[in-house]
């Protein structure tokens, strides 16, 4: 498992870019986003689209289940990639991170993490 923190930009239906620090985590399958960010702003203020049902999130270090809801944003911008249109996230009240980028999206983008040097790279075209 590898984990790297990196700044990303997201936007919702309100079209404003929001900078967040995302955890890139190969041990997590899907993307997650906090309902309240470290700067006390709210994810709902971005203009998100709620499209999925509530779902249970199981964290290995917690015995309790957490409820989340699947949402879409307008775009996600990660340095080194083209903007990702309508990225999907599980919205819940995370305490440690504003956003987690999961393995599925990293694989789609061809990202390679090198945690020992805190680097994200992409295959050359």
CATH number at residue 38: 2.40.70.10
3-state helix, strand, coil in the chain (%, to 5): 10, 45, 40
Which domain covers residue 72, as residue numbers? 3-121
pLDDT digits (tens, 9 = 90+) for 89-117: 999 999 899 999 999 999 998 888 877 77
Per-residue model confidence (pLDDT) at position 125? 47
pLDDT (tens digit per residue) in 54-94: 777 766 666 667 789 999 999 999 988 899 999 999 999 99
Provide mean pLDDT across the span 116-122: 74
- What contacts 121, CB < 8 A, 6 or more positions away? 80, 111, 112, 114
Provide the domain count of the chain. 1
């Amino acid at each position: 498992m590898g984990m790297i923190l990196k700044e990303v930009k997201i936007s919702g239906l309100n079209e404003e870019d929001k900078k967040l620090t995302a955890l890139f985590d190969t041990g997590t399958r899907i993307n997650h986003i906090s309902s309240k960010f470290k700067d006390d702003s709210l994810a709902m203020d971005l203009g998100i689209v709620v499209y999925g049902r509530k779902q249970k999130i199981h964290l290995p270090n917690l015995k309790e289940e957490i409820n989340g809801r699947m949402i879409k944003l307008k775009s996600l911008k990660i340095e080194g990639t083209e903007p990702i249109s309508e990225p999907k996230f599980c919205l819940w009240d995370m305490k440690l991170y504003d956003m987690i980028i999961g393995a599925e999206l990293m694989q789609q983008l061809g990202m390679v993490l090198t945690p020992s040097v805190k680097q994200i790279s992409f295959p050359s075209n």
